[in-house]
Each structure stands twice: as structure tokens, then as C-alpha cells.
């Protein structure tokens, strides 16, 4: 088999020198080069290897915080308050709002983004929505690389806000070092059932809209869940000590009244301190980079294999499969053989 | 670099002859071999290539219908009714309930499955839940291969039920030939906004719980959306004609009272007929098999690359990345070079 006619990548490729200049400008705090570099990541530009080559050495200082929870829990308002609190500490803050583009979740996110424009004149704040429609499996990969761009740009805290339902909230574990799960009293019924899943991802539980009925019960249930029984004051006393596993903190907030926000910021920062002190931050960094390598590999192999399947010989391979002259695993072996003949695989 | 010490696959591998016998038994209608073959798919057994080799030639007759919609729309009750209606036509029906194991969606699915056990003495019905927790990207791949096992087992209709939120409902397009989106009057507010997303996936819209307030308004909005203006009777008259694109049908049901079910089954079957008559079914089959090839490739490459990264040399590669002596795209090139030296890649 000979696979001819692979499509060349036609997207405009920038010169290495120009990419370097763009990164330097971004590091001076300019918005336009930052936005353009993020777009290159989001659009999976052919420049990406060159961008990462020059940008990667500047990464490694930004903290990535994940904010997740069911739709309607008030995550965006909470993020809005987080920005204010972190700004008052002098931190530079970036927000990535991951819009899973669900046909069922609708357009709340657009309104939120408009509201967040009150920060738009503050050069210490950068907010960006990332759409994910149609990019199968691409959510965590592109988002991860955007956190790296923002890290290199010098943001101290990078907030990743996702409407966590289904598998999304597992992906946030691959992105964020510290994860807050935001709940509201109304989501209380299912706590016992969702116990296993939720314990895996939350470093901090936030019961938002905590003036509503059921808040006390929910806080108690969460405290029981994290093994603190009937204690009522869930903050400082229960921070994990050095060498011990982290025990999730349980907090109350009323984001619309900016109540409980200092405690929330303190909780997230205490988890970051725990990660550094315990050596767990290094493990997280290693996992993050391991996943990044595997994602790059998977994207490259998938793109090349798709192109091969679009050639006449690839179409014949598919035709044999449709006609049951081969089976999927046998055909995939042939596809791998062809893939390994491509020079592009090593470029 | 030499990568030694790759972990051998220790899972018990069955003899080719025994797998053939198991498939023969399954084709006679026996449950145990069917359940065991599905488990091999779900657990990504080392036997999978051998299983598919012997099973694949029996596939190609079963129809795959996707049933998706927001949590609480009554999908499981609807599926329950679908089973009854299809059984009364003499069809053999399999159900795959995909549980995205969301910490937020909770345990409704377990109760549903118990309720569905009323079909458990009917040999023409098979119901199976598939968990997906922790299997990143594995939802559609394993589910797809389970539909192939059920197809080979002789089921006429394979219903795939997913709680569609986020990216899940896009994955159903990769699995099912005909997709029903189930809504309830309460989910009406966001219809205009979710228009773009929802139009991509629905072949049939079902407004369930249609005795509730707001049902009329929702049906009107959906009809406007699919381009039928103020028409009130949305069934037969609007079926797409030969050569024209399919226009989604809009139906009302009250699944708990078994109302509207014959119309629902007829709508799904008319879409299947449309696919066959228009030649689109062949295109769908081709896309399905192309995705299956790419998924097998991605799984094999990902598994081997992970194993390489766990070896001492792989750890050194990661260490250089952590120390910023390399960048992710450069390191991924080295990883691919090592991957291509592995004999397993061609096996």
C-alpha cells in the first residue's frame, strides 16, 4: 500500500523570530499578543510546537485553581468575587471559562461573561471563554495549554471554571492543582449517592447561596462525609497537617453579597501551601506534563491517521472493512503500519 | 534510549477456539456468553482483537437508536415504553444505559435499572448499564464496541440511553444512526439559545410529560426551529422526502401513561427508512467504522506510550521536561521515536 496525497497543513506558519517577539510582548503585559497566542492554542495552529518551544521555559509559577459544580450553583458570581479578593492581594488573575457548549445548558455563560466585563479595564485581570464544541477529547488538551500560556504571561492565579457534569469534572483534575466544588442547598438530596465521585475531585467544598433553607443540613452532611462528624466551624482547625492526606474543607458563601469570600480564598491558598509543603505539587506537575505528552501524541497520531484514511488507499482499507473482508483490529494494524511509514510522524 | 521493562499484559487470554464457541453460544440466544463478551469489551480485555475477529462478520443488521436529553426528562421511562412497543412488533431489543457516573447526577440510574427488571424474563430483551468513570475518552469507544457485540448477537434494535450534558450528546452521534432528544416543558426557557447545538443531534424531538404547562409553547418553538412555522400536526406530513435533507420530527409523549409511543416508534423507524432510501446509512456506517479504527489506534498508542513513560528512560524524559531542558512538543517527538521501536505497536 502507498498512501499518496496527504493534505499539507495550509494554515499560515509564522517565523520563529516573530513568535519570539509576540511572546516578549505578551510578557510585557500586552493583551493582543496574549489573545493571539491563546487563539493559536485554541485553533490547534501549526505554529504550536514553535510557540511552546519559546514559551515553555517561562511557565511553572502560576497556580491553577479549578471551580466546578452543577449548573445554577453560582460559579460565575463566585469567580467574579474571587477575582476581586485576589486583586486586593495584588495578584494577577486569569479566568478560563470552559463552555462545554451543551445544547441543554444554554447560554447562561454569555451573560456571565458580559457581567465580568467590569474587570475589563483592569490590566491585572484577563478573562477568556473557550468553546469546545466538536473538538472530541480536545477540552482538556487545549485548556491545559491555555493555562500554560497564561502561566508564561505572568498570571499568579489561573481560574478554570467548568460546568461539571458527566466527565467534565474528571478532566478538571488533569488541569487544576486545587479544585473547589460549588454546591447549593438545592443540590443536597443526592449527596450520599454522589459521595464517591465528589470526594475524588474536591479539595474545597463551597456551599453557596448558604442563606437558603437546607444549607445547614448540607454543610453537616459534607462535614460527615469528609470525616469531621458534627463539628460546626470547618475552617482553620481542620487543615491537613504536614505528611497527612488533605482533608477537604467545607465552607459557606453568599457570593451575591460577597460573604465568605476571604475564607474561600484562604482555603484555596492553604491547599496550595499544603501541596508545596508536602511535595505533592511536584507529583501534580509531573502528572500534568505526562498527560500533556500523551495528549500531543494522541493528537498527532489521530490527525495523521485521519488524513491517511482520506486517501484512496485509506478508502480501500475502509471499504474492505465495510465489506467484512477485514475486521477493525486487523485493519487498525494495517493503518498503524502505514502511519509509521509517514515522515510527518517524526516531525 | 532503550526502554526496557515494559509491563506484559497479564490478563488471562482465552484460546481462539474458546472465543469462537462463546460467540456461537451467544448467537443461540444464551445470556451468559453475551454478558461475558460485553464485559471483555468494557474491561478492554487483551482478547478484544480475537473477539472482534470472530464476531465482526455477524454485525451489520442491528439498528442503533440514541435516546438523550437532560436529567429528569424521563428518558428511562420512555425507553421502558419503547421496549414494550418494539416487542409488540416482534423485535428483539437491547438497551445500553450509559451512566456517566457524574458526582452531580447521582444515582437515579440504579433505580431505573431495577424498574426495568420487569423485562428480565423476556429473552428478547437485554439491558446493560455501562459505567464510564475514570475512563477518559473511553465512553464512546467501549460503548460503540458493545453495540457491535449486541448487533452480532442478533438484536434488531439497540437503544443507547445517555444523560446528555456537555460533550456526551456529541458522542452519541458517533454511536447511533437515529437520535431522539427528549425534553420536558420545564426545559423550555433555553430553547432559542440551545438551538444550534440541539439541531445538530436531533432526528426526532420528543416533548415528554406533555400534559404539563408549557408543552404547547415548547412544541411550537421546536416546530419553528425545524422550519415548520405554526403547523400543529407534526407527524407524517413532514417526513423528509427522498433526496432532501431530513427535517427533525416533533412529537408529544406522556411516557408514564404510555401515550404517544406508537408515534414515537414510527418516527424513529421512518428516520431509519430515510437513511436506507437516501444512501445516508452507508455514509453513517463508514463514519462509524472510521471512528472505530481511529479509536483502536488511539487506545493502542496511548497505552504503549504510558508504559514507556513509566520505565526509567521514560522517567528521565519526563524529568528533562520538568527541568525545562526540553519542551512538551520536543519531548513528544522523542516519545514517538521510542514508541516506533516497540514491537508491540505492530501486533
**pLDDT at site B188:** 56
Q: What is the pLDDT of residue A99?
A: 67
Contact, B119 vs B187, CB < 8 A?
Answer: no
The residue behind cell 467501549 is B142
Residue B222 confidence class, pLDDT cut points 50, 70, 90:
confident
Please report, in tens digits, the pLDDT of each residue of chain A (347 residues total).
344 445 444 456 788 999 999 999 999 999 999 999 999 998 889 999 999 999 999 999 999 999 988 777 888 889 999 999 999 999 999 999 886 555 554 444 555 555 566 677 788 999 988 875 544 455 678 899 999 999 999 999 999 988 655 555 567 888 899 999 998 887 655 554 454 566 678 899 999 999 999 899 889 888 888 876 544 444 444 444 556 789 999 999 999 999 999 999 999 999 999 999 999 999 999 999 999 999 999 999 999 999 999 999 999 999 999 999 999 999 999 999 999 888 888 77
Test the A interface: residue of B20, B57, B104 with most A CBs within 10 Å:
B104
Chain B residue whose CA is closest to A49: B329
Task: List chain A residues with CB under 8 Å of B340.
Answer: 340, 345-346
pLDDT at position A1 is 39
Residue of B nearest to A70 (CA): B104
Let me know: does B188 contact B76? Beta carbons within 8 Å: no
Closest A-chain CA to B333: A346
Cβ contact (<8 Å) for B165 and A166?
yes
Q: Do A200 and B103 touch (CB under 8 A)?
A: yes
Position A13 scores a pLDDT of: 77
Q: Which residue has the cell 477493525?
A: A328
Conformation bin of residue A93: beta by default, left when phi > 0, alpha when psi is -120 to 50: beta
Among A74-83, B237-246, B338-347, the range of highest mean pLDDT? A74-83
Coil/strand/helix, residue A5: coil
Complex-level ipTM: 0.86
pLDDT at B294: 94
| pLDDT at B100 (0 to 100) | 56
Given a cut of 50, whether residue B230 has pLDDT beyond it is no
Residue A88: the pLDDT is 95
What pLDDT was estimated at residue A238?
A: 44
Q: Which residues of A touch B322 (CB under 8 A)?
A: 282, 285-286, 289
Q: Do A328 and B101 make contact, defined as CB atoms within 8 angstroms?
A: no
- From chain B, the residues in CB contact with A187 under 8 A are 104
Residue B312 in grid coordinates? 526509567
Q: Which residue has the cell 505554529?
A: A47
The backbone region for B6, taken as left when phi is positive above 0, alpha when psi lies in -120 to 50, beta otherwise, is beta
Q: How far is CA A36 from the centre of its chain?
A: 19
Assigned C-alpha cell, A287: 502528572
Mean pLDDT of chain B: 83
Strand-pair category, A178-183 with A204-207: parallel
pLDDT for res A138: 55
- How high is the pLDDT of residue A344? 80
- Are the beta carbons of B287 and A321 closer than 8 angstroms? no
* pLDDT band (50, 70, 90) for residue B193: very low
d(CA A209, CA B140): 36
Distance to chain B for A268, nearest Cα, Å: 21
pLDDT per position as a tens digit, B84-104: 999 999 999 999 988 655 545
Strand-by-strand arrangement of the B178-183 sheet: B125-131, B93-99, B157-163, B63-69, B178-183, B204-207, B249-252
Interface test with B, best of A136, A200, A328 (most B CBs within 10 A): A328
What pLDDT does residue B116 have? 62
- The pLDDT tens digits of the residues spanning B133-147 come to 544 455 678 899 999
At B347 the pLDDT is 77
CB neighbourhood size of A339 (10 A): 21
User: Which chain A residues contact residue B106 at CB under 8 A?
Assistant: 189-190, 193-194
Indicate which of B167, B197, B203, B346 best probes the interface with A, i.e. most A CBs within 10 Å of its own CB. B167
Q: Which one is predicted more confidently, B186 or A319? A: A319
Between B2 and B33, name the one with better pLDDT: B33
Whether residue B104 and residue A164 make contact (CB cut-off 8 A), yes or no, is yes
Q: How far is CA A117 from CA A83, A139, A299, B180, in A?
A: 12, 24, 34, 38
| Distance in angstroms (rounded) separating the CA atoms of residues B104 and B317 | 38
Contact B133 A197 (CB under 8 A): yes
Q: Which chain A residue lies closest to B71 (C-alpha atoms)?
A: A104
Instruction: Identify the DSSP state of A326.
Output: S
> What is the rounded average pLDDT of the residues B124-129?
90
Q: Write out the three cell numbers for A59.
A: 511557565
Q: Mean pLDDT throughout B9-22?
A: 80
- Nearest CB among A53, A286, A309 relative to B327 is that of A53
Report the gap between the CA of A222 and the closest CA in chain B (Å).
13
* pLDDT for res B221: 85
A52 and A142 in contact (C-beta within 8 Å)? no
B337/A346 touch (CB, cutoff 8 Å), yes or no: yes
What's this model's pTM, rounded to 2 decimal places?
Answer: 0.84
Terminal-residue alpha carbon distance, chain B: 22
Contacts of B321 in chain A (CB under 8 A): 289, 293
Q: Could you say which of B105, B324, B347 has the minimum Cβ distance to residue A57?
A: B324
Backbone angles phi, psi at B246, to 5 degrees: -70, 135
pLDDT given for residue B10 in this prediction: 46
Amino acid at each position: 500500500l502507498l498512501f499518496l496525497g496527504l493534505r499539507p497543513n495550509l494554515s499560515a506558519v509564522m517565523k520563529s523570530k516573530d513568535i519570539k517577539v509576540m511572546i516578549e510582548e505578551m510578557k510585557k503585559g500586552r493583551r493582543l499578543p496574549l489573545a493571539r497566542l491563546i487563539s493559536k492554542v485554541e485553533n490547534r495552529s501549526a505554529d504550536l510546537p514553535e510557540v511552546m518551544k519559546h514559551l515553555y521555559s517561562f511557565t511553572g509559577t502560576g497556580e491553577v485553581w479549578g471551580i466546578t459544580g452543577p449548573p445554577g450553583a453560582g460559579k460565575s458570581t463566585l469567580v467574579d468575587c474571587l477575582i476581586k479578593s485576589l486583586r486586593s492581594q495584588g495578584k494577577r488573575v486569569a479566568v478560563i471559562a470552559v463552555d462545554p457548549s451543551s445544547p441543554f445548558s444554554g447560554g447562561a455563560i454569555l451573560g456571565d461573561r458580559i457581567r465580568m466585563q467590569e474587570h475589563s479595564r483592569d490590566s491585572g485581570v484577563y478573562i477568556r471563554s473557550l468553546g469546545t464544541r466538536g473538538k472530541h477529547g480536545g477540552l482538556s488538551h487545549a485548556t491545559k495549554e491555555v493555562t500554560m500560556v497564561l502561566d508564561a504571561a505572568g498570571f499568579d492565579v489561573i481560574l478554570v471554571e467548568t460546568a461539571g457534569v458527566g466527565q467534565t469534572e474528571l478532566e478538571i483534575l488533569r488541569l487544576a492543582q486545587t479544585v473547589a466544588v460549588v454546591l447549593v442547598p438545592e443540590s443536597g438530596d443526592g449527596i450520599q449517592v454522589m459521595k464517591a465521585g465528589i470526594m475524588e475531585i474536591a479539595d474545597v467544598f463551597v456551599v453557596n447561596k448558604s442563606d437558603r433553607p437546607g444549607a445547614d443540613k448540607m454543610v453537616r452532611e459534607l462535614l460527615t462525609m469528609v470525616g469531621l462528624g458534627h463539628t460546626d466551624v470547618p475552617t482553620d482547625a481542620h487543615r491537613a497537617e504536614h505528611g497527612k492526606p488533605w482533608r477537604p474543607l467545607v465552607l459557606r458563601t453568599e457570593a451575591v453579597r460577597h460573604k465568605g469570600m476571604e475564607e474561600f480564598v484562604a482555603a484555596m491558598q492553604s491547599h496550595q501551601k499544603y501541596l508545596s509543603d508536602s511535595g505533592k505539587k511536584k507529583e501534580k506537575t509531573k502528572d500534568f506534563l505526562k498527560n500533556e505528552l500523551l495528549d500531543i501524541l494522541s493528537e498527532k497520531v489521530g490527525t495523521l491517521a485521519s488524513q491517511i484514511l482520506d486517501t484512496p488507499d485509506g478508502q480501500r482499507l475502509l471499504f474492505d472493512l465495510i465489506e467484512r473482508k477485514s475486521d477493525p483490529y486487523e485493519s487498525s494494524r494495517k493503518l498503524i503500519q502505514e502511519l509509521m511509514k509517514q515522515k510527518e510522524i517524526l516531525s
